[in-house]
Every structure is written in C-alpha cells, then in structure tokens.
C-alpha cells in the first residue's frame, strides 16, 4: 500500500461524501429543541425532588439521537450494525415520575425526526407538545384529595367514624385498615365539600377515637 492509496480509501470517500452543513444544521437544531424540552420540563415539573441532571440529559439525548440517525441514514449497512449494537444496551435507572417517560420519548422522537430531515415537523411538533405540557401539567384543581388517618378502639367506634365521614365529605374511600388487639387504624382518602376541615374535630370528639389526623395528598404514591 502506497501513500496515495491511503487517500483513496473508502473511509475517506465516506467522509468527503457526507455533508458537513447538514450535520451542523441538524445538531444545532437538536441543541435548540433539546434546550426547549429542558425548559418545558423545568417549568412543568411538580414532583418531589427536581433533578437538573435529568433535564440536561434530555437535551443531550436529543443531540445524540440526531447524531445516530444522521449516521444511519447515510449508510444502509451501518444502519443494520447500529441496530445490533443498540439492542444490547440496557438502562437500569428507575423512573420515579410518569411524566419523565414522556419527556424521554419526546427527546428521542425529536432527535429521530431531525436526523431524518423533517425539520418543520420537529419544530412545530415540539412547540405544540410544549404548550400542551405547560397548560395541562400545571393545571390546578380545587378538588384536592386528602388522607385522613383515624385511630379508634373497636368496630362500633369505627362505624360512628364512617358515618361522620359520610355526612361531612363529598367522597371518601378506605385505603387501608389495620386491626390490632387494642385499636383499629383507618387510612381514608377524602374529598372535601366546601374546603373545610372542621369535620376532623367532630371525629376527634367521638368517644373511642384516640386520634384523627388529616394530611394533604397529591394523588401519587412514592415507590
């Protein structure tokens, strides 16, 4: 092999055939849309603990996916090898918030669409999804659920508690019931009628009730 044969290799031919302008444009748009997804995630987050690293990973995932799709669409043989390589990748990080999965798929989808060259679809689709996320994720509701925890002596007292709750709240549901030798503990999800919590004092005054505690509840269980 001579020095001239090196410059005639198929590898360098592929480099020269690939458009640098397309790569720069696609990755620049991926960065902008990834940053937009990151800002929407930050704006609409209402979980327990905000993770800045997850937001940055959304932006990075958009750019990485775009890079992969650009490589795949430039070579059919490479696309088959890429599918085999990515099929062995396994992610073990647990997703706590259901909305995080939606943001992950959003980032991956934008990267795929940009890599395929469908720029208007990626831009307008991201804007539309972002508006929907901000409007509906942060939508406040007046019908907030509460958790009522009542400790009582026996089943007769429990019936009185259940009757008082039925008369005082709009809707209730028993989440758990723990029975021991000396007491019964009830965990009840309640929906208030007029946003008043005076009924808790009534339940506490029932003979045989040891304690009645009302706590705010956002509808999600922590795993």
* Whether residue 124 sits in one domain with residue 84: yes
Q: Which domain holds residue 180?
A: 145-216
* Whether residue 83 sits in one domain with residue 182: no
The reported pLDDT for the residue numbered 83 is: 57
Could you give the CA distance from residue 20 to residue 73 in angstroms, rounded to a whole number?
A: 14
pLDDT tens figures, 140-159: 555 677 888 888 888 888 88
Q: How many domains does the chain have?
A: 2
Return the closest-CA partner of residue 40 out of 140, 126, 141, 108: 126
Return the closest-CA partner of residue 197 out of 218, 177, 217, 213: 213
Within a domain: 222: no
Q: Give the global pTM.
A: 0.61
Per-10-residue mean pLDDT, the chain, length 223: 51 58 86 91 75 83 85 63 56 68 88 85 90 78 75 83 82 83 83 76 82 70 43
* Whether residue 210 sits in one domain with residue 180: yes
Return the closest-CA partner of residue 198 out of 169, 173, 174: 169
Of 106, 137, 168, which residue constitutes the final position of a domain? 137
* Whether residue 116 sits in one domain with residue 154: no
* Whether residue 50 sits in one domain with residue 158: no
């Amino acid at each position: 092999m001579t020095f001239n044969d090196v410059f005639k290799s198929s590898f360098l031919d592929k480099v020269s055939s690939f458009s640098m302008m397309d790569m720069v444009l696609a990755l620049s748009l991926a960065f902008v849309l990834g940053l937009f997804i990151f800002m929407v995630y930050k704006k609409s987050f209402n979980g327990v603990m905000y993770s800045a690293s997850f937001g940055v990973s959304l932006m990075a995932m958009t750019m990485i996916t775009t890079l992969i799709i650009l490589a795949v669409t430039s070579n059919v043989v490479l696309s088959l090898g890429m599918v085999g390589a990515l099929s062995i990748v396994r992610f073990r990080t647990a997703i706590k918030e259901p909305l995080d999965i939606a943001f992950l798929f959003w980032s991956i989808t934008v990267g795929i669409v940009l890599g395929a060259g469908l720029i208007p679809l990626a831009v307008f689709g991201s804007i539309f999804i972002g508006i929907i996320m901000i409007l509906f994720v942060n939508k406040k509701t007046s019908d907030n659920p509460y958790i009522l925890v009542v400790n009582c002596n026996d089943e007769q007292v429990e019936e009185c508690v259940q009757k008082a709750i039925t008369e005082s709240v709009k809707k209730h549901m028993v989440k758990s019931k723990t029975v021991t030798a000396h007491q019964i503990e009830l965990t009840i999800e309640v929906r208030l009628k007029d946003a008043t919590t005076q009924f808790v004092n009534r339940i506490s005054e029932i003979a045989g009730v040891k304690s009645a505690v009302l706590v705010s509840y956002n509808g999600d269980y922590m795993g």
